[in-house]
Chains A and B, each alone.
Chain A
Amino acid sequence: MRYWKVIVLAAIVILGIGTYYIQNAFANSDYPEFHLEKVGGDEDVVNGLTFMGNYFDNYKEIGENVKITSEDTIYQSELSYFDYLTEVFQDSTIRRLQSDYRKFMRGKNEGSSAFFEDDKRLIYAGSLGIESDIGFRIEMLDKEVNETTDFQVEIPKNNINYMNVVDVQADEKEVIITTRNFYTHNPNESETEEGFHVYRINIENGSLIGDEIIYENKVDHSDKGWTELIEVNNDMEIGKEDYFVFRLDHMKEKEYGFEADGSDYFAYHFETNELKEMNLPNERLFVEKTAYVHGGVVYFLNKTKSGFEFIRYQMDDGELNTIEVPTTLNLNEGNTNVIFHDGKIFIPNSSEEGNNLFVLDEKTGKLVYEGKLSADRELENVYLDLNDLAFE
């Protein structure tokens, strides 16, 4: 036969690669489907809720991004290439902004901490310069008329080595940018300093009207220990907050390397320009603890025998109270998130024992829903890690 080589080789290619892709298109998913199963409470609370996370099959050495909606479990490898490109890499806040304000969001690659949003405006504040130490570029989108204004503001030279925008707030008159700055006062010394700055910028004329250092910390590493600043504010939330919250961990040498020996919590009030040290009982409970900030309250989540408790610290008056939340399901040791949405507190909890979701009413602190994700098959050495929620 003439040209048999071309024919045979082409046949092998079509048989091998062609069959593979056709099969893939029709084959069932290789991975489990997850469903949220109600254990108690009101089903309506979780309507339109989407879980986002990572799926790991340790035996098979497979790791995939996964999205779990009430109808479907979608793995990254099952997405079309275009969906894969648009969906996989961002947090849910940025993704929502990109789909709602595509033009405004173009080229803004910072995380959500560089954004502020209220009903009328979406504001972006990014740092300028290669070392991000020259100043800010501010862009404001008026949502009603869909118009963008932008301007640049320079800040005084202050031996800043690097600057990181950690929070943006705004009222009618000014944009308030909180940054974490790293700088050296004496270039010959190895000792560096870091600090939180608050810059206030007049919206009308774009001038810098305030440059305040709210807290400074000497990063002096010694054999005995050091102190380090940790942001407590939730950077996924871009709405109005009255306070910027951070903590100072005192690292000391312990039996197994360095551990925090104590943590001081601070709350900075934007309106009065006042820094308050939070008056927490001196307990291990608060050391190196993840805290969640929302609506002028700092929440500390704590596992108890009957479920968990929320310790609420009211920043306005320093009042401390505890809400007991008895639960049917366990809050397991693992990865826990606290997400505030629409007057509710969503707590997805991932561990090797399973994935649970608790929903509380923010005002009353009552449990309004609890449920767990169950798979459609027996899972062995598989771990599902939930790290974000999206709401329809």
Chain B
Amino acid sequence: MRNYVKLVDFELKRFMKIYLTLIGIVIISQIVGVIVESNQFMDMANREMFEGSMSLTQFLEMYWPLTMSRILISGWFILPVGLSAAALIFYCFFIWYRDWFGKNTFIYRLLMLPTARINILLAKASAIFLMVLGLVSIQLILLPIENIIFQTIVPLDLRVDMTIREVINSSNGFASLQMLLPNSLVQFFAHYGIGFMTVFTLFTAILFERSYRIKGIIFGVVYCIIALVIFLLPSSLEMVFSEFGYFYPEELFIIEVILGIIVTGISIWVSHYLLNRKVTV
């Protein structure tokens, strides 16, 4: 256990600079975004009402009061979040390959550690996972702060306040927020469970490649397809027998949970085998 925590901490350390930079970009870009977007709206309001002699009612009818959800669709918000997501997806690969292609084939030392090799895999997955959840949390902590800035710039007459939950549920723009932070906790675990499963499946494919090189790429791809087929078994069966909707949604959910656990389990087990027996430096 201590070895595992140590390894997680170590993996985090290796990406910390880039990770902190990403967080910095998110924070700065979003806060600047709120200020810029709010001010732009205020400028427009001033122009229309003082220079263009529109009444407040006319202005609101034409432009609608500003809300947080309208601010959130601007590039200031979406781009840094997209960048972070892309960086973490890329790092899912890099977290392995850097060990082989680094200055002094770091994987050699990792594999020599006096600890179960599976800990290396679990530590890498946990590190990625923690970083994803960390970014989501930063976003959640940022939203109320952004809300306060928004409320300071835009007066009550010209805005409609929303709770954080409403901002997340708003159908406008930032729909990915709803995916990252679904309404119910069960759904939250379902979404991140699928994420976990995907990361482990991808890691297994990478280990296939590392074990068998060129041939391993094919093994890896085939493995991913098999994992996908198992996970989507109920819908594939429905497709084959063209009997759609045989399972009720709640049954389907339980089946998918079980299949997800099976796929994750197989991935960890295969990775364990590859790490112990097949991987070469």
Complex-state Cα separation, A295 to B9, whole angstroms: 73
Do A12 and B138 touch (CB < 8 A)? yes
Which residues of B come within 8 Å of A, CB atoms? 5-6, 8-9, 12-13, 16, 64-65, 67, 69-70, 130-131, 133-134, 136-141, 160, 162-166, 169-172, 181, 183-188, 190, 242-246, 248-250, 253
Do B171 and A30 touch (CB < 8 A)? no
Chain B residues with Cβ below 8 Å from A62 are: 166, 169-171
Chain A residues with Cβ below 8 Å from B244 are: 107, 109
Chain A residues with Cβ below 8 Å from B9 are: 2-6
Chain B interface, DSSP helix/strand/loop, else mixed: helix
**Extra pairs beyond A9-B12, A17-B188, A77-B165 (12, CB < 8 Å):** A4-B9, A6-B8, A9-B130, A12-B137, A20-B181, A21-B185, A24-B165, A27-B165, A62-B166, A79-B184, A84-B184, A107-B245
Do B188 and A30 touch (CB < 8 A)? no
**Interface CB pairs A-B, < 8 A, 14:** A4-B9, A6-B12, A16-B137, A17-B136, A21-B188, A24-B183, A61-B171, A63-B171, A77-B165, A81-B253, A84-B184, A85-B250, A86-B249, A109-B244
Do A60 and B13 touch (CB < 8 A)? no
Chain B residues with Cβ below 8 Å from A81 are: 184, 186-187, 190, 253
State the Cβ distance, A272 to closest chain B Cβ, in Å: 37
Complex-state Cα separation, A2 to B6, whole angstroms: 9
Q: Give the contacting residue for B67; candidates A13, A60, A89, A130; CB below 8 A.
A: A60
Chain B residues with Cβ below 8 Å from A89 are: 249
Do A16 and B140 touch (CB < 8 A)? yes
A106 lies within 8 A of chain B by Cβ: yes
Chain A residues with Cβ below 8 Å from B187 are: 81
* Nearest neighbor of A102 in chain B, beta-carbon distance: B248
Do B253 and A13 touch (CB < 8 A)? no
State the Cβ distance, B68 to closest chain A Cβ, in Å: 9
Contacts A20-B181, A62-B170, A77-B169; A86 near B248 (Cβ below 8 A): yes
Complex-state Cα separation, A381 to B64, whole angstroms: 10
Most buried by A among B64, B137, B171, B186: B137
Q: Give the contacting residue for A5; candidates B16, B137, B164; CB below 8 A.
A: B16
Chain A residues with Cβ below 8 Å from B246 are: 106-107
A98 lies within 8 A of chain B by Cβ: yes
Chain B residues with Cβ below 8 Å from A9 are: 12, 130-131, 134
A15 lies within 8 A of chain B by Cβ: yes
State the Cβ distance, A376 to closest chain B Cβ, in Å: 16
A186 lies within 8 A of chain B by Cβ: no
Contacts A20-B140, A81-B190, A85-B250; A5 near B13 (Cβ below 8 A): yes
* Nearest neighbor of A28 in chain B, beta-carbon distance: B163
* Nearest neighbor of B160 in chain A, beta-carbon distance: A59
Chain A residues with Cβ below 8 Å from B163 are: 27, 30
Chain A residues with Cβ below 8 Å from B164 are: 20
Complex-state Cα separation, A200 to B12, whole angstroms: 71
Most buried by A among B5, B184, B187, B242: B184
Complex-state Cα separation, A4 to B244, whole angstroms: 51
Contacts A16-B137, A107-B243; A61 near B13 (Cβ below 8 A): no
Contacts A60-B162, A63-B171; A17 near B140 (Cβ below 8 A): yes
A26 lies within 8 A of chain B by Cβ: no
Do B130 and A13 touch (CB < 8 A)? yes
State the Cβ distance, B195 to closest chain A Cβ, in Å: 14
Complex-state Cα separation, A53 to B137, whole angstroms: 34
Complex-state Cα separation, A80 to B253, whole angstroms: 13
Complex-state Cα separation, A62 to B172, whole angstroms: 8
Q: Give the contacting residue for A6; candidates B5, B65, B141, B165; CB below 8 A.
A: B5
Do A3 and B6 touch (CB < 8 A)? yes
Number of A residues, CB within 8 Å of B: 44
State the Cβ distance, A99 to closest chain B Cβ, in Å: 11
Q: Give the contacting residue for A10; candidates B67, B130, B139; CB below 8 A.
A: B130
* Nearest neighbor of A63 in chain B, beta-carbon distance: B171
Chain B residues with Cβ below 8 Å from A256 are: none
Contacts A20-B181, A107-B246; A13 near B170 (Cβ below 8 A): no
The 4 closest A-B pairs by CB, nearest first: A16-B137, A85-B249, A61-B172, A81-B186
Tell me the A191-207 residues at the B interface (CB within 8 Å): none
Complex-state Cα separation, A27 to B172, whole angstroms: 23
* Nearest neighbor of B6 in chain A, beta-carbon distance: A3
Do A13 and B160 touch (CB < 8 A)? no
Complex-state Cα separation, A30 to B138, whole angstroms: 23
Complex-state Cα separation, A107 to B238, whole angstroms: 10
Tell me the A347-389 residues at the B interface (CB within 8 Å): 380-381
Complex-state Cα separation, A24 to B244, whole angstroms: 35
Complex-state Cα separation, A34 to B183, whole angstroms: 22
State the Cβ distance, B192 to closest chain A Cβ, in Å: 10
Complex-state Cα separation, A380 to B61, whole angstroms: 12
Contacts A17-B136, A107-B243; A85 near B166 (Cβ below 8 A): no
Do A13 and B186 touch (CB < 8 A)? no
Complex-state Cα separation, A380 to B69, whole angstroms: 17
Chain B residues with Cβ below 8 Å from A107 are: 243-246
Do A13 and B133 touch (CB < 8 A)? yes
Do A82 and B250 touch (CB < 8 A)? yes
Do A61 and B170 touch (CB < 8 A)? yes
* Nearest neighbor of A106 in chain B, beta-carbon distance: B246
Chain A residues with Cβ below 8 Å from B166 are: 30, 60, 62
Do B253 and A82 touch (CB < 8 A)? yes
State the Cβ distance, A152 to closest chain B Cβ, in Å: 14
Chain A residues with Cβ below 8 Å from B136 are: 13, 16-17
Complex-state Cα separation, A370 to B127, whole angstroms: 61
Do B171 and A86 touch (CB < 8 A)? no
* Nearest neighbor of A78 in chain B, beta-carbon distance: B183
Tell me the A1-56 residues at the B interface (CB within 8 Å): 2-6, 9-10, 12-13, 15-17, 19-21, 24, 27, 30
State the Cβ distance, A5 to closest chain B Cβ, in Å: 4
Do A5 and B12 touch (CB < 8 A)? yes
State the Cβ distance, B209 to closest chain A Cβ, in Å: 29
Do A59 and B137 touch (CB < 8 A)? no
Chain A residues with Cβ below 8 Å from B243 are: 107
Chain B residues with Cβ below 8 Å from A64 are: 169
